[in-house]
Amino acid sequence: MTSSISKISDRTEQPPVIISHPGDVAGSQLRLTRDLKQILHLTIDSDRTWSRVKVVRAAPLTHPDRYISFLDEKGVEICMIDDPGSFNEETLNIINEELDRRYLTSTILSVRSIRNEFGTSYWDVETDRGEREFVVQNAEEHVRRLGSHRLLILDVDGNRFEIPRLEKLDRKSLGMIERTL
């Protein structure tokens, strides 16, 4: 496997073909591989190849499962796939792993405490990644309401926390959040 990959990375100098309209390329035409160095390689129709590819979501908040974009080394879009259903299984797995790795947004499962002091709130929460404490300033700007029941919170360092469904939280957590916002 390693040998075939080293061949691919030798060919990175070829001019990139930019196809940026969703639908122009079907997911089935793409093959994504990852080498031992954790570098991604994208092949379209088994003849054009890009190395150091990045997989990103066009609208990570509103359409997390669709509109997957592939960027080259310099951040220029190679192509966009609107329906990930057409990917082959191996590619889809890598895409999911990459997206999962790229978007480090923790989901808040319950709130242990929120302290409000001096216009700053200090949160102590349980997330899907474990316990976490963080500080939010200027809640008007850094707490985004996405629809009526979904919240995205940005802390002072730019870490992201999400509450996908407010009404699913326990009453105590919900009460503390409502008092803060």
Contacting positions for another protein (CB under 8 A): 36-38, 60, 100-106, 116-120, 122, 127-135, 137, 139-140, 155-160, 179-181
Three-class DSSP category at 38: coil
Minimum distance, C-beta of residue 86 to another protein, in the bound complex (Å):
25
SS (H, E, C) 51-89: ECCEEEECCCCCCCCCCEEEECCCCCEEEEECCHHHCCH
Minimum distance, C-beta of residue 14 to another protein, in the bound complex (Å):
21
Q: Across the chain, which distance is largest between two alpha carbons, in Å? A: 60
Q: In terms of CB distance, is 30 or 176 closer to another protein?
A: 176
Q: In terms of CB distance, is 18 or 156 closer to another protein?
A: 156
How far is residue 86's CA from residue 88's CA, in Å, rounded to a whole number? Answer: 7
Place of tokens 């700053």: 120
Minimum distance, C-beta of residue 161 to another protein, in the bound complex (Å):
9
Q: In terms of CB distance, is 49 or 106 closer to another protein?
A: 106
Minimum distance, C-beta of residue 106 to another protein, in the bound complex (Å):
8
How far is residue 140's CA from residue 181's CA, in Å, rounded to a whole number? Answer: 8
Q: In terms of CB distance, is 30 or 114 closer to another protein?
A: 114
